[in-house]
């Protein structure tokens, strides 16, 4: 073979090898991408920023509540919240008058009254004379009080699907989280928030409730999208995830439940830094008689609470915004309620203005329905004695403790389920 043809042969051979390597790598990439993206009922969509990639649901037919459930707002709630000059009080009693007119005459759908048109500062100042003295985040909350229907960016439409139509999920863990709290979510997934079939065949599911990253935080949209694709347990809405938006998160969660999980028996709603004893919760729920089970609202109950007026603290409520006591309510770290109450809770929330403290707001909704919270000593949202916090035996009879970091959660769960544990 001549030198010329030898060179051509070597060049062709080298080119062939390069192509083989290229296509094998391309195949590997394709397989890895398919593993990440072949999730039922989701697709990748690009939001306003080119870098903000999240998962949005593909349109799928489902039963949506075109008509709100029948509603009666209790007289005790009407009388409990005083009529005075505070902004929130005036707003509440105005909505209650609309409810009375709607019930007696027009039967107007309350959802039609809310359009997301942020309040102008001038209008707020007309209604709240000292609004300039409010903390900055309060101003953002006040401007958005009418915005009740943000777009859902990441959905889990098949979360409550079961093989047989007559089956239903017994317990749904609905955990309030934020985009940057991945480690907390992962600790829950690996311990008390595990999905599946538990003792006696009861089905448990878990979702994490999120908004968008704060404007002061780096965007985590891509990471959240990948996390959702892998675990399929994130619900993300298009609003800033902040303390003052937790009430909005509550409202949109009620709507999601109606759309996606209308036949849940019980809901556990809590924070992502609690430790829950799943089996103890299931045992407690299975021991309830039908009357208790249908009207359940239980946890660690806060009674005789009043607004805190120190502007330096997290739970500050200005006097010109709200005046009066708070109704008894279950502490927001973690509580349980009946799934069949979701339609009524969603309906009544249209007649109760958003309040900047979400567990107080939830207590208001239940009181408006005439349902009183029931104290359960197994809920310790203000923690237990320091010397008992690592004691697995102490936790066996508790339903919830607050607060625990991911490492404490993993360690406590492991010790509670150790074959060597002797209590």
Tokens of 28: 């590997």
The average pLDDT across 331-346 equals: 97
Tell me which fold the domain 143-416 belongs to.
Spore Coat Polysaccharide Biosynthesis Protein SpsA; Chain A (3.90.550)
Which has the higher per-residue pLDDT, 137 or 175? 175
Q: What is the pLDDT of residue 187?
A: 98
Q: What is the pLDDT of residue 191?
A: 98
Query: Where is average pLDDT lowest: 28-37, 166-175, 334-343?
Result: 28-37
Integer Cα distance of 86 and 20 in angstroms:
74
Query: Where is average pLDDT lowest: 43-57, 128-142, 281-295?
Result: 43-57
* Residue at token pair 């009418």: 146
Query: Where is average pLDDT lowest: 13-22, 78-87, 275-284?
Result: 13-22
- Reported confidence tier of residue 105, pLDDT bands at 50, 70, 90: low
Model confidence, pTM = 0.84
Q: What is the pLDDT of residue 334?
A: 98
Q: Please state, rounded to an integer, the average pLDDT across all residues of the chain.
A: 85
- Within 10 angstroms of residue 199's Cβ, the number of other Cβ atoms is 9
Q: Is the pLDDT of residue 49 over 60?
A: no
* Residue at token pair 């709100």: 68
Burial profile 136-158: b = 16 or more Cβ within 10 angstroms, e = fewer: eebbebbbbbebbebebbbbbbe
The percent of residues in the chain predicted with pLDDT above 90, rounded, is 72
Q: What is the pLDDT of residue 113?
A: 79
Q: Is the pLDDT of residue 34 over 90?
A: no
Tokens of 229: 């694709």
- Reported confidence tier of residue 116, pLDDT bands at 50, 70, 90: confident
Q: What is the pLDDT of residue 106?
A: 54
| pLDDT tens per residue, range 148-174 | 999 999 999 999 998 777 688 999 999
The average pLDDT across 128-141 equals: 91
Query: Where is average pLDDT lowest: 67-71, 145-149, 225-229, 303-307?
Result: 67-71
Q: What is the pLDDT of residue 13?
A: 42
Q: Is the pLDDT of residue 20 over 80?
A: no
The average pLDDT across 274-292 equals: 97
Determine the straight-line distance between the first and last CA of the chain, rounded to whole angstroms: 86
Which has the higher per-residue pLDDT, 387 or 7? 387
Integer Cα distance of 144 and 160 in angstroms:
31
How many residues are there in the chain?
423
Q: Is the pLDDT of residue 45 over 50?
A: no
């Amino acid at each position: 073979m001549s030198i010329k043809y030898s060179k051509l042969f070597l060049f062709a051979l080298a080119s062939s090898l390069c192509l083989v390597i290229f296509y094998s790598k391309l195949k590997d990439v394709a397989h890895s991408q398919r593993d990440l993206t072949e999730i039922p009922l989701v697709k990748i969509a690009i939001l306003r920023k080119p870098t903000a990639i999240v998962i949005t649901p593909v349109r799928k037919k489902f039963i949506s509540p075109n008509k709100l459930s029948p509603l009666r707002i209790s007289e005790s709630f009407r009388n409990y919240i005083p009529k005075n000059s505070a902004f929130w009080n005036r707003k509440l009693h105005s909505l209650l008058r609309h409810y009375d007119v709607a019930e007696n005459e027009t039967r107007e759908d309350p959802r039609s009254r809310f359009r997301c048109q942020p309040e102008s500062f001038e209008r707020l100042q007309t209604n709240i004379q000292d609004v300039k003295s409010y903390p900055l985040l309060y101003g953002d909350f006040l401007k958005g009080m009418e915005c009740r229907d943000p777009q859902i960016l990441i959905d889990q439409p098949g979360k409550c699907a079961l093989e047989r139509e007559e089956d239903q999920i017994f317990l749904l863990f609905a955990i309030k989280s934020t985009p940057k709290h991945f480690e907390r979510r992962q600790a829950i997934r690996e311990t008390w928030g595990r999905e599946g079939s538990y003792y006696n065949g009861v089905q448990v599911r878990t979702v994490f409730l999120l908004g968008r990253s704060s404007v002061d935080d780096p965007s985590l949209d891509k990471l959240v999208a990948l996390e959702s694709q892998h675990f399929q347990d994130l619900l993300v809405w298009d609003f800033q995830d902040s303390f003052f938006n937790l009430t909005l998160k509550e409202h949109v969660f009620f709507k999601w439940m109606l759309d996606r999980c209308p036949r849940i028996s019980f809901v556990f709603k809590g924070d992502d830094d609690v430790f829950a004893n799943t089996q103890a919760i299931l045992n407690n729920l299975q021991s309830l008689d039908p009357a208790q089970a249908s009207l359940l609202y239980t946890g660690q109950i806060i009674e005789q609470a009043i607004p805190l007026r120190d502007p330096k603290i997290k739970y500050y409520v200005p006097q010109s915004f709200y005046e009066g006591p708070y109704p008894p309510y279950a502490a927001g770290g973690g509580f349980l309620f009946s799934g069949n109450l979701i339609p009524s809770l969603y309906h009544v929330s249209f007649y109760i203005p958003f309040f900047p403290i979400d567990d107080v707001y939830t207590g208001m909704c239940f009181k408006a329905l005439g349902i009183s919270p029931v104290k359960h000593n197994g809920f310790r949202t203000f923690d237990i004695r320091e010397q008992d916090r690592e004691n697995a035996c102490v936790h066996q009879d508790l339903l919830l403790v607050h607060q625990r970091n991911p490492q404490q959660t993993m360690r406590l769960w492991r010790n509670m389920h150790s074959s060597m544990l002797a209590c």
